[in-house]
Structure 1
Amino acid sequence: MARAKAVLFDNDGTLVDTAELLLKTFRYATRAVLNREFTDEQLMRGVGIPLADQMYDFTDDPVEAEELLRVYRAYNKTIHDEMISVFPGIPELLLALERAGIRLGVVTSKRHDVCQHGLEICGIADRFEFVVGSDDCSEHKPKPGPVLYGCELLGIDPSEAVYVGDSPYDILAGRAAGVRTLGVTWGVFSRRQIAEAAEPTFWAHDAAEAARILGVS
């Protein structure tokens, strides 16, 4: 592929491994508030859209959804720092992209401050020019707004960017925004789950393969 001017990354499941953290927190909140059991797949199926919206996967009651969100955030804060880690090869990939003059940003459905804190814990926050969080944009994935806003911050046309993500919502948002998309399979969702919703421009199964596709290996 022609080398992109910029690469935008999703956060959870793409840059940082939070799968067990999210699963543990969802299970705690749904047990505490609803006194119900859900399968792992049910708990994780909404990962990639704003957290407040995910709560409606478990209840139709706005009061219960609000309480789920409150309990989730309170519990998550107590275990977050010890359960988050950067995926293998990501620091090296980001350094290679930076050295190649490719501009970098994060576009996530997580709140800005929580995402920024996680990136700092993982030692990769300084690689990015900005974070676009769920509270930075009125539109959310799978709509294109957050990705388009990232391109706007960089002052580039969407055709000059690649969006890297591990969820169907990432690929749908990227395609709708007109950027090239790189689907990664080391996160929460399998290749089959992503492809059933939207086929990305490229696939990568580890950071080294992503580096080759992005032209920096």
Structure 2
Amino acid sequence: MTSAPRPGVLLDVDGTLLDTNYLQVLAWWRAFRDTGHPEVSMADCHRAIGIASTELVAHLLGDDVPDAEEISAAKDERYQPLRELVDAFPRVDELLTACRERGLAVVLATSGKESDLEWMVPAIGGEDVVDGATTSADVDSAKPAPDLLQTAVTDNGLDAARTVAVGDTVWDVRSARDADLPCIALTCGGISRAELEDAGADEVYDDPADLLAHLDDSLIGRIARG
């Protein structure tokens, strides 16, 4: 017997649950220089964080870049030693637990690689509360395309009418809008409230702790109440 779809929350990881965006920026910036693209600035990299690797390179350099794979590989190499600096935002584990206690499935939806989950999940303290995860490996087109979120809904048996996406970039917001999902955005990834609202975010909070403090009044709380 097939179980009924359940309400859920789809959570981006980098910049939303983990304070990694500026580490990602540094790794990308160095990778572009390593591969002969000094014209790409740190600001350019920051504005593109949230886009999956292949798409990020194309977004910054164009679709016909011959060394796109080399750039992505250089970024992975540069990011590896920075991972020891990764930390979760305050009260992330409490936020995930609070969502779960309200009857919501807690699902990670990240443009990162499947192998990243091996360190991401322990870093956010989500071993006991994360119900599932969808990564770039599960789709042909990751964020900002809607595929990642749509696949996360389908694969985890979620009720799309009672599911909220949470992210920190305009790319997360656009992905949610194109997937017909409401979106909560957080400014802790370095993108302003105005930009997130202009992109279509339904609600904006400072960080996971701020969302937790207002959880019952947020979209998440309202969906949990039915």
CA distance in 1, matches of 2:153, 2:118: 19
CA distance in 2, matches of 1:20, 1:139: 24
The amino acid across from 1:207 in the alignment is: P
CA distance in 1, matches of 2:68, 2:48: 14
Indicate how the Cα distance of structure 1 residues 83 and 7 shifts in structure 2: closer, same or farther if over 3 A, else same: same
CA-to-partner distance for each residue in 1:40-78, whole Å, 9 max, x for gaps?
211222111111221234434533222111111122123
The amino acid across from 1:160 in the alignment is: R
Partner residue in 2 for 1:72:
75
CA distance in 2, matches of 1:133, 1:25: 20
Partner residue in 2 for 1:141:
143
- TM-superposed CA distance for 1:35, in Å, is 5.5
Partner residue in 1 for 2:194:
192
CA-to-partner distance for each residue in 1:93-115, whole Å, 9 max, x for gaps?
11111222211001111112114
Q: Which runs of 5+ in 1 are unaligned?
A: none
Partner residue in 2 for 1:204:
205
The amino acid across from 1:161 in the alignment is: T
SS for the counterpart of 2:61 is coil
CA distance in 2, matches of 1:65, 1:153: 30
The amino acid across from 2:203 in the alignment is: F
The amino acid across from 1:88 in the alignment is: P
CA distance in 1, matches of 2:147, 2:178: 9
CA distance in 1, matches of 2:157, 2:37: 48
From 103, 120, 126, the equivalent of 2:105 is: 103
Does structure 2 retain, via aligned residues, the 8 Å contact 1:143–1:173? yes
Partner residue in 1 for 2:25:
23
The amino acid across from 1:97 in the alignment is: C
CA distance in 1, matches of 2:40, 2:90: 30
- TM-superposed CA distance for 1:144, in Å, is 1.8
Map residues 14-93 of structure 1 onto 2, 5 A cutoff.
14-34=16-36, 36=38, 38-60=40-62, 62-80=65-83, 82-93=84-95
Indicate how the Cα distance of structure 1 residues 191 and 68 shifts in structure 2: closer, same or farther if over 3 A, else same: same
Does structure 1 retain, via aligned residues, the 8 Å contact 2:93–2:124? no
Q: Which runs of 5+ in 2 are unaligned?
A: 1-5
Partner residue in 1 for 2:132:
130
The amino acid across from 2:71 in the alignment is: L
CA-to-partner distance for each residue in 1:2-48, whole Å, 9 max, x for gaps?
xx921110111111110231122112212211161543211222111
CA distance in 2, matches of 1:113, 1:58: 25
Indicate how the Cα distance of structure 1 residues 116 and 174 shifts in structure 2: closer, same or farther if over 3 A, else same: farther
> Which piece of structure 1 moves more, 150-159 or 99-108?
150-159
CA distance in 1, matches of 2:194, 2:60: 24
How many pairs were matched up? 211
Q: Percent identity?
A: 26
SS for the counterpart of 1:163 is strand
- TM-superposed CA distance for 1:172, in Å, is 1.3
Please tell me the root mean square deviation across aligned C-alpha atoms, in Å.
2.1
Does 2:176 correspond to 1:174? yes
Indicate how the Cα distance of structure 1 residues 182 and 70 shifts in structure 2: closer, same or farther if over 3 A, else same: same
CA distance in 1, matches of 2:136, 2:169: 16
Does structure 1 retain, via aligned residues, the 8 Å contact 2:22–2:46? no
Indicate how the Cα distance of structure 1 residues 139 and 43 shifts in structure 2: closer, same or farther if over 3 A, else same: closer
CA distance in 2, matches of 1:209, 1:22: 23
Partner residue in 2 for 1:113:
115
CA distance in 2, matches of 1:17, 1:96: 20
> Which piece of structure 1 moves more, 19-28 or 117-126?
117-126
